[in-house]
Structures are given as C-alpha cells and as structure tokens.
Amino acid sequence: MGYEDEDFIVRQAKQMGELLGGFLGKKDTEAILSFGEEAQTEEPKEDEPHFEFRSSNESDITTIGVIVNEAKNYLTEQGSPQWQNGHEPHEAIIREDLKKEASYVLTMDDEIVGTVALISGVDPVYEAIEGAWQEAGPYVALHHVAVSQKYRGAGIGEKTLKAAIEKAEELGFKDIRIDTYPANQPMLGLIGKLGFNYCGMIYFPYADGERKAFQLIKRSV
C-alpha cells in the first residue's frame, strides 16, 4: 500500500469522525473511536472476597476466643463496661454455644472474621423486659457478636448479623431478638440499620447488666 492509499484512508477516517460527531457528539464519538485502545489498556479487576457463614467447630474455638478478646479490649478502650469483669463470652461459654449447635462464624476467604451465637428457647431475662415485645412466641436471640479488629470498619459486623438473620429464618424463626449495652453506639446503629425495633430494657443479674432490647419480625417465614 502506497502513501496515496494511506492518505485516502486518513481522509475517510476523518470524514467518518465528522459524520459521527454530527449525530452523537464529540464525547461519544471519541469514546467509540478509542474503544480498542481502552480495551487493550484496561487493568483486570481483582476478585471479590468469598464469604461463608457456617456452624463453628472445635478447631474454631481458639480463633473465636481471640476475636472476642479483641472486641472486649475495644470496648474497654471506649470506656464501656460491657463484656468486662469476666462477663464476656469466654471459652466455657463458647464451648457451651458449640454444644448447643448455636455457634456460627463468618469467614472471608476461609479466614474467620466474625462470630455470633443463635440462642433459642425462653430466656428469663428477656421475659422480664421493662417494656413489651412486639409479638410473643418462639424466638431466637443473637448473642456474643464479635468481629475481627483487623477488619473493623469494613462492614464485617453488618455481614455477620445479616447472615445470622438469614440463618434464623432458615431455621424457621420469624421472631429474632438482640440486645446491647445502652452506650454501645456502633452496635445500636447497626441494629437500627438492620430493621430491629426497640422494645424496652432488660437486666442481666450482674453489675452494668442493663441492656437495650430489640426485636425483628420477619413476615416471610
């Protein structure tokens, strides 16, 4: 192909660009004409992390304990009395949750990043609420919620509770309850975001045992 042929192709390309510009506008025309270059230079996107919500097992106990202690230390730093003085879910409680098949973990690419216990059955503390539950009947309570401090601020708490709610529905519960210390603002915000309604105060039988109690009714079950 000679120079004359190349000049002809260039003129044709310019004319095509002007024609497209008349219909589409300069910005869209440039996007179309540069598509091939963009496709060649676009960087591949990294894979999204894989999350799994599953029942805990014996080999998870140590990691769950570490995450619980991290959460306890965080509460201490925030000046909260929650989970202090031996009232955190320590190893004996974790093992009891495991025995009841109530302990669950959220993993991210096989790394445990969150934990929660789904406790069913009548809780005398919940029965003595100062206030009123929206509905009475079989319920499951979400307890011992903790997330890895390594991923604080990454939405792991929300993912953990959402997965726990889905599991509760899967188990046949439409009444899901949760409680937290009145000054635990991050948890209060998350509980409200997930649609729980405040029902009243409950009191565990130890110092600083007051908790705000919430209920979520799932009509789809």
Question: Which pair of tokens denotes residue 134?
Answer: 């929206």
Is 93 in the same domain as 161?
yes
pLDDT beyond 80 at 153: yes
- If asked whether residues 130 and 204 sit together in one domain, one would say yes
Q: Does 95 share its domain with 32?
A: no
Residue 221 has pLDDT above 50, yes or no: no
How many distinct structural domains can be found in the chain? 2
**pLDDT recorded at residue 186:** 93
* Closest-CA residue to 195 (of 209, 67, 169, 64): 169
Residue 180 backbone dihedrals phi, psi, to 5 degrees: -160, 160
- pTM above threshold 0.85: no
Average pLDDT over residues 186-215: 97
In a domain, 127, yes or no: yes
Q: What CATH number corresponds to the domain at position 189?
A: 3.40.630.30
User: Which of 25, 14, 110, 21 is closest to 60 using CA atoms?
Assistant: 110
- Both 26 and 76 in one domain: the answer is no
Note the pLDDT tens digit of each residue in 31-84.
444 544 444 444 545 688 999 999 999 999 999 999 999 999 999 998 899 999
Hey, how many other C-beta atoms are within 10 angstroms of the C-beta on 10? 10
Q: Are residues 192 and 110 in the same domain?
A: yes
Residue 177 CA to residue 172 CA, distance in Å, equals 14
**Structural domain harbouring 56:** 51-217
State the helix-helix crossing angle for 91-99 and 61-77, rounded to 10 degrees: 130
**Cα–Cα distance, 72 to 94 (Å, whole number):** 15
pLDDT in tens, 87-141: 999 999 999 999 999 999 999 999 999 999 999 999 999 999 999 999 999 999 9
In a domain, 46, yes or no: no
Instruction: Render pLDDT for 130-142 as a digit per residue (tens, 0 to 9).
Output: 999 999 999 999 9
Residue 141 lies in a domain: yes
